[in-house]
Amino acid sequence: MTSGARVWAEEGCPTPRTNPKTVQVPQRDMTAALSDVIAERRRQIDAEGWSTEHDDEHLPGELALAAASYVCADEGEAPPAIWPWDWAWWKPESRRRNLVKAAALILAEIERIDRAEAAKTQHPTSGD
């Protein structure tokens, strides 16, 4: 198991009581694919510095467009027209690795949506 996923599996994640959208996955149920996606998400945060605050600055759907770009990518190809960022950030690799990156980006987009929804319920805007 890769280091990011190992930390997640060993330390666990918040219980459903603290975050109803979060569930614990027993280590025995963590496939190599799931482990790799979690590790990639951790790498994006730890190595690249893409914090949740940084992710929240993206336009809605922007992370999903990046993910879609990697889903269709082959190593050495130029980024597709939907790639939302500078070409310098386009780094396609093997088919499996691209799918892992895509899944981690989808996870980041889902987390961004969840935070935005939580913020709305915590700080509702007045309709006046």
Judge whether residue 22 has pLDDT over 70: no
Q: Please tell me the pTM assigned to this model.
A: 0.74
Higher-confidence residue of 125 and 17: namely 125
Q: With contact defined as beta carbons under 8 Å apart, do 84 and 57 qualify? A: no
Sign of CA pseudo-dihedral 106, 113, 66, 104: negative
Checking if the pLDDT of 4 tops 60, the result is no
Length of the chain: 128
Percent of the chain past pLDDT 90, that is, above it, reads: 57
SS (H, E, C) 7-72: HHHHHCCCCCCCCCCCCCCCHHHCCHHHHHHHHHHHHHHHCCCCCHHHHHCCCCCHHHHHHHHHHC
Give tens-digit pLDDT for 49-81.
Answer: 888 889 889 989 999 999 999 999 989 899 999
Please give the C-alpha separations between residue 20 and each of 13, 38, 78, 103, in angstroms, as whole numbers.
Answer: 12, 19, 40, 21
CB atoms within 10 A of CB 35: 20
